[in-house]
């Protein structure tokens, strides 16, 4: 994709990765991603972030299209050192020889750890630091643990642009550059997926920092994340900030997710009976086989659900590997405000529901009694599953009011 002038003398010069299918362990299905970075033409020409290393050629081409083949870049601003954003940094430093490389205090440590550089003109810019580019100024705001310790936001008051790196991002390969050029529903889906699988553990940081942007006195007319579409206009900027505040609050909806794996279909039948009990009480239900659904797709549904029900037969005195993997992945993302329960079948030892219940309880979930069935569910045990669904539905209603 060619450079796009997003404001006067400010250019998107990123790369579209149409073929990326896995990102931090979460599936991108057929969505791909973008690596957004930006070039500001001023008295001091400034590059904000780079792109993934395999797109080094694309980055050079885009810079040349904006600045000419003998391009000179005076300043680099590195908001985050993860390789999808700083993968080209060493090559860019060698080629363009910047006067200054600005990064956060933790960014300096990460930069050294990643690149082991010598004699780079690195300058640390803690929160509140301001630099002049000529007609423009840049203000720096540390955003530690959003989602790495080195994360930083960069704000330009003259352009009214907030460069947010991973915050407000979406993994979505598109030819469009702005959110107002696509349908809102798939955009919000991609945003929620991204939040659920990357940003969710850092929700307290989101609430403290991003939800208080208005209190900082920043006049924002454009929000530029480093993945996905950009947001322009005050209305869209406020919309995306409000969405992040909504996600960070983790207020559950009238919704339950049942994820499971099954050996000979007994646990699967139990899941369907629980789902029927939930649905009969007016709860929206998602039943998700882990053979058919990637753990990140399940997490994208779990994020706003009031209840999570895990199912597995007993297998070698434990649970099936896909369920174990899902529980480990979910635990790392630290979902809050959930009701939990478990279902499972067994042949002789029967540890499954204890393992599942302990895992969900350890995540801080409010637990509803599990149901365990020997071998194949009968009419009576299917009724127990149905009643379990109704009991979970009653707990959901009490929780969400």
Give the mean pLDDT of 220-232.
96
80 catalytic? Reply is yes
Where is 101: in which H helix or E strand? strand 100-103
Residue 352 has pLDDT above 90, yes or no: no
- The residue among 249, 264, 292 that closes a domain is 249
In this prediction, residue 108 has a pLDDT band, given cuts at 50, 70 and 90, of very high
Would you say residue 199 lies in a domain? Answer: yes
194 catalytic? Reply is yes
Which pLDDT score is estimated for 217? Answer: 85
Together in a domain, 282 and 155: no
Residue 289 has pLDDT above 90, yes or no: yes
**Residues 141-160: tens digit of each pLDDT:** 999 988 889 999 999 999 99
Query: Helices in 174-226 by DSSP H: which ranges?
Result: 184-194, 203-208
Across-strand partners of 46? 40, 75
Among the listed residues 147, 294, 295, 315, the single catalytic one is: 147
The closest of 375, 26, 12 to 196, measured between CA atoms, is 26
Among the listed residues 85, 227, 295, 315, the single catalytic one is: 227
CATH number, domain containing residue 136: 3.60.15.10
166 catalytic? Reply is yes
Give the mean pLDDT of 253-276.
93
Together in a domain, 14 and 57: yes
Rounded to whole angstroms, how far apart are CA atoms 392 and 398?
Answer: 10
In this prediction, residue 21 has a pLDDT band, given cuts at 50, 70 and 90, of confident
Together in a domain, 70 and 111: yes
Q: Which residues contact 401 (CB under 8 A, 6 or more apart)?
A: none
pLDDT over 90 percentage in the chain? 79
- The residue among 199, 225, 249 that closes a domain is 249
Give the mean pLDDT of 342-348.
86
Length of the chain: 401
297 catalytic? Reply is no
Would you say residue 287 lies in a domain? Answer: yes
Together in a domain, 206 and 60: yes
Give the mean pLDDT of 226-239.
95
Would you say residue 400 lies in a domain? Answer: no
Residue 264 has pLDDT above 90, yes or no: no
pLDDT over 70 percentage in the chain? 100
Would you say residue 401 lies in a domain? Answer: no
Rounded to whole angstroms, how far apart are CA atoms 308 and 295?
Answer: 14
Which pLDDT score is estimated for 151? Answer: 94
- The residue among 205, 226, 249 that closes a domain is 249
Together in a domain, 311 and 242: no
- DSSP annotation of 251 reads P
Rounded to whole angstroms, how far apart are CA atoms 101 and 120?
Answer: 8
Which pLDDT score is estimated for 69? Answer: 87
Which pLDDT score is estimated for 127? Answer: 93
Q: Which of 59-63, 180-184, 315-319 has the lowest mean pLDDT?
A: 315-319
Rounded to whole angstroms, how far apart are CA atoms 58 and 60?
Answer: 6
Among the listed residues 84, 142, 226, 297, the single catalytic one is: 84
Which pLDDT score is estimated for 292? Answer: 93
Which pLDDT score is estimated for 302? Answer: 95
Would you say residue 399 lies in a domain? Answer: no
Rounded to whole angstroms, how far apart are CA atoms 346 and 120?
Answer: 61
Would you say residue 8 lies in a domain? Answer: yes
Together in a domain, 213 and 305: no
Together in a domain, 100 and 131: yes
Total number of domains in the chain: 2
Q: What is the mean pLDDT of the chain?
A: 92
Which range of residues forms the domain containing residue 385? 256-393
In this prediction, residue 1 has a pLDDT band, given cuts at 50, 70 and 90, of confident
265 catalytic? Reply is no
Give the mean pLDDT of 319-341.
93
What is the per-residue DSSP string for 52-104?
-GGGHHHHHHHHHHHH-TT----EEEES--SHHHHTTHHHHHHHH--SEEEE-
386 catalytic? Reply is no
Residue 263 has pLDDT above 90, yes or no: no
Residue 23 has pLDDT above 80, yes or no: no
Would you say residue 215 lies in a domain? Answer: yes
Among the listed residues 17, 49, 82, 226, the single catalytic one is: 82
Among the listed residues 24, 54, 130, 219, the single catalytic one is: 24
Residue 354 has pLDDT above 80, yes or no: yes
In this prediction, residue 26 has a pLDDT band, given cuts at 50, 70 and 90, of confident
Residue 163 has pLDDT above 90, yes or no: yes
Together in a domain, 116 and 137: yes
Which pLDDT score is estimated for 160? Answer: 97
Q: Which of 15-29, 41-55, 316-330 has the lowest mean pLDDT?
A: 15-29
Which pLDDT score is estimated for 25? Answer: 73
362 catalytic? Reply is no
114 catalytic? Reply is no
Where is 249: in which H helix or E strand? helix 234-249
Which pLDDT score is estimated for 260? Answer: 95
Among the listed residues 166, 226, 261, 304, the single catalytic one is: 166
Among the listed residues 80, 85, 139, 294, the single catalytic one is: 80
Together in a domain, 214 and 192: yes
Which pLDDT score is estimated for 161? Answer: 97
Which pLDDT score is estimated for 373? Answer: 82
Would you say residue 381 lies in a domain? Answer: yes
Q: Which residues contact 266 (CB under 8 A, 6 or more apart)?
A: 313, 345, 373, 375, 376, 377
Rounded to whole angstroms, how far apart are CA atoms 9 and 5?
Answer: 7
């Amino acid at each position: 994709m060619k450079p796009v002038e997003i404001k006067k003398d400010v250019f998107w010069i990123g790369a579209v990765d149409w073929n990326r299918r896995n990102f931090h362990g979460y599936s991108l299905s057929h969505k791909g991603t973008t690596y957004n970075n930006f070039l500001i033409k001023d008295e001091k020409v400034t590059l904000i972030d780079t792109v993934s290393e395999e797109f080094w050629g694309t980055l050079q081409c885009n810079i040349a299209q904006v600045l000419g083949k003998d391009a000179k870049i005076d300043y680099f601003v590195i908001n985050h050192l993860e390789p999808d954003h700083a993968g080209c940094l060493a090559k860019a430093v060698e080629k363009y020889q910047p006067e200054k490389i600005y990064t956060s205090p933790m960014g300096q440590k990460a930069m050294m750890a990643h690149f082991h550089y010598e004699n780079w003109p690195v300058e640390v810019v803690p929160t509140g630091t301001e630099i002049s580019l000529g007609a423009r100024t840049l203000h720096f705001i540390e955003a530690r643990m959003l989602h790495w310790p080195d994360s930083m936001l960069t704000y330009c008051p003259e352009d009214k642009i907030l460069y947010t790196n991973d915050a407000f991002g979406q993994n979505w390969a598109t030819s469009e550059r702005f959110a107002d050029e696509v349908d809102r529903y798939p955009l919000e889906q991609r945003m929620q997926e991204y939040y659920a699988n990357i940003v969710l553990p850092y929700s307290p940081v989101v609430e403290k920092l991003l939800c208080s942007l208005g209190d900082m006195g920043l006049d924002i007319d454009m929000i530029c994340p480093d993945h996905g579409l950009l947001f322009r206009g005050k209305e869209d900027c406020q919309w995306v900030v409000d969405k992040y505040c909504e996600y960070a609050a983790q207020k559950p909806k009238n919704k339950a997710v049942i994820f499971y794996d099954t050996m000979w279909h007994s646990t699967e039948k139990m899941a369907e009976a629980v789902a029927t009990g939930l649905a009969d009480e007016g709860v929206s239900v998602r039943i998700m086989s882990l053979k058919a659904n990637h753990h990140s797709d399940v997490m994208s549904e779990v994020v706003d659900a009031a209840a999570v029900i895990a199912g597995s037969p007993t297998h070698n005195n434990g649970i099936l590997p896909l369920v174990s993997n899902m529980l480990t992945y979910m635990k790392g993302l630290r979902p809050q405000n959930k009701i939990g329960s478990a279902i499972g079948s067994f042949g002789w030892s029967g540890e499954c529901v204890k393992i599942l219940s302990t895992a969900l309880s350890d995540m801080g979930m409010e637990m509803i009694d599990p149901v365990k069935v020997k071998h194949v569910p009968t009419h009576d045990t299917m009724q127990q599953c149905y009643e379990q669904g109704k009991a979970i539905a009653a707990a959901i209603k009490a929780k969400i009011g």
